[in-house]
Amino acid sequence: MEVALNLDPISRIALYRQIYDGLRGGIVGGRFEAGAKLPASRALATSLGVSRITVTECYDRLISEGYLETRRGSGTFVCSLLPETDMYASSVTVEIDPEPQSSAPIRLSAYGDLINAPIRPPIPPGIIRLDSHGPDVASFPRKLWTRLLVRRMQEDGLNLLQYTQEFSGNTDLRVAVAHYLRMSRAVVCDPSQIIITSGSQQAIYLAARIFLDPSDFAAIEAPGYRFAGRIFSSQGATLLPIPVDRNGMQVSQLKRHADKTVKLVYVTPSHQYPRGVSLSIPRRMDLLAWAKQAGALILEDDYDSEYRYNERPLPSIQGMVPDAPVLYVGTFSKLLFPTLRLGYLVVPRAFQNVFTGAKLLCDLQSSSIDQRILTDFLTEGHLEPYVRKMRIIYGNRRAVLVESLQKHFGRRVTIYGDHAGMHFLADFQIDLSETEAFDRALAAGVRLERVYWPACSEVERPGHVQFVFTFAARSEEELVLAAEKLARAFLS
């Protein structure tokens, strides 16, 4: 490993002293950690462009002072126990540049200002997370995936490690995804309309980036998906919250905003997030008619509709009418495993070029290796039996969690939504605020997800608090235990 040191060949300070001061300062300041191995003297000399004797002298002095030690046959290492940091302070020469007369502040862009919010700290271990939206990775067929990976690397390994010119995504994968969507979601598309993205969130971001200006409005379900709201706001658009009831987004409320330039309408029609309801057929047709008349686009996020328990699959809005003004979004990250950062957009033909260009500027390409393995996983018929298996597992877990909550809370809890998906919304009739209930649950060892109400659209219901419950990644035992902990936290 090379070591970078600031050396000034025209300085009056000798190179030997500059190297010594740089190494000693790095040791005292923590840059070189205790026990870290330093480069061999010959290698460091070559890297710095000095003689080996100069480096050897520096090493010998640092060894004699107790900062470095040699280990026979292994090399030179930073001592685990250092001498007092001030023992040789007088021997260190530091050149201090004069302070500048003025210092101009570094300003964030408007985008930077909008997204400059604290990132949630890591969740400590031992917490039962009912706010984690991932699937059950323990049930994923890892041996099968590994076999597909090995075969691909043996057959086409060198090409998989190169850049690709298929900026919209691997052609074979786009063909496979188009076939899957036509069969399972009644999506009307051909492979040329599909853009492979790094997850559905990138797909939403690209749509917002391409279509939204600061003067525009983006309609979003209320309550709705937090990150969609943040993405639209990051582009400077104004959020327009549209209420959701048992039949999904109230399109009639959307129509009342004829005075506003609504460019994009974000909906989760197959399993509304977070209420879990589906958008009724009449409202779907009403939304399509409104979008065509208003010159707006519908961003249809179909994030987990593979999982419907005892209910028939729902067709997409995109396939309901010819030339629908719909951007259809889906993901394999929630379906298979989170680190598989592969999603997709189905775009109207007129927008294929602009989305390909936006994807190219964003990250050039999604993982070629993962795209090829996923292609094999789809074309060889592995997805359907996997989804059938997980539908049973997730359906049982949902039933266990619902039953456990009802056992402890009785009529004081109401579960909203269809028997579908990987989450549901629960309403608790308790004398606690949302913040108090959230904090009590976390103190009891359960983390819940708060409901997101865009643009201050929250409906006040005194004596009620609501939380989103995810269950796919938790065992049945954990779900039963979580319900018990919540009962003690909320009712004691």
CA distances, 94 to each of 17, 57, 86, 89, 97 (Å): 11, 20, 14, 10, 10
**Which pLDDT tens digit goes with each residue over 226-259?**
999 999 999 999 999 999 999 999 999 999 999 9
Q: Which residue has the tokens 């009620």?
A: 464
Can you list the alpha helix ranges (DSSP code H) found in 186-250?
200-211, 226-234
Q: Is the pLDDT of residue 369 over 80?
A: yes
Which of helix, strand or coil describes residue 464?
strand
Which of helix, strand or coil describes residue 5?
coil
pTM: 0.83
If pLDDT is split at 50, 70 and 90, which confidence band does 90 have? Answer: very low
190 and 296 both lie in a single domain: yes
Report if residue 179 sits inside a domain.
yes
Task: Please state the rounded mean pLDDT for residues 130-134.
Answer: 92
**Which pLDDT tens digit goes with each residue over 1-48?**
678 888 888 888 888 899 999 999 989 888 888 889 999 999 998 988
60 and 164 both lie in a single domain: no
Report if residue 448 sits inside a domain.
yes
Q: Point out the domain boundary residue: 320, 354, 381.
A: 381
444 and 335 both lie in a single domain: no
pLDDT for res 94: 47
**Which pLDDT tens digit goes with each residue over 296-331?**
999 999 999 899 998 777 889 999 999 999 999 999
Report if residue 234 sits inside a domain.
yes
**Can you give the residue range of the structural domain that contains 485?**
128-135+386-491
* CATH classification of the domain holding 41: 1.10.10.10
Task: Please state the rounded mean pLDDT for residues 192-215.
Answer: 96
Name the average pLDDT for the chain: 92
392 and 375 both lie in a single domain: no
If pLDDT is split at 50, 70 and 90, which confidence band does 352 have? Answer: very high
343 and 473 both lie in a single domain: no
Q: Which residue has the tokens 């090399």?
A: 75
244 and 339 both lie in a single domain: yes
Number of domains present in the structure of the chain: 3
340 and 269 both lie in a single domain: yes
N-term to C-term CA, the chain: 58
Q: Point out the domain boundary residue: 381, 409, 437.
A: 381
Percent of the chain residues topping a pLDDT of 90: 74
108 C-beta neighbours (distance < 10 Å), count: 11
Q: Point out the domain boundary residue: 381, 406, 440.
A: 381
User: Residue 278: CB partners within 8 Å, gap ≥ 6?
Assistant: 248, 269, 270, 271, 272, 314, 418, 420
179 and 292 both lie in a single domain: yes
CA distances, 134 to each of 119, 196, 358 (Å): 19, 20, 27
349 and 252 both lie in a single domain: yes
* CATH classification of the domain holding 406: 3.90.1150.10
241 and 373 both lie in a single domain: yes
- Give the largest Cα separation in the chain, rounded: 84
373 and 423 both lie in a single domain: no
pLDDT for res 4: 85
**Which pLDDT tens digit goes with each residue over 47-68?**
888 999 999 999 999 999 889 9
348 and 273 both lie in a single domain: yes
Q: Which residue has the tokens 């396939």?
A: 319
**Nearest Cα residue to 28 out of 83, 75, 74:** 83
Q: Is the pLDDT of residue 393 over 50?
A: yes
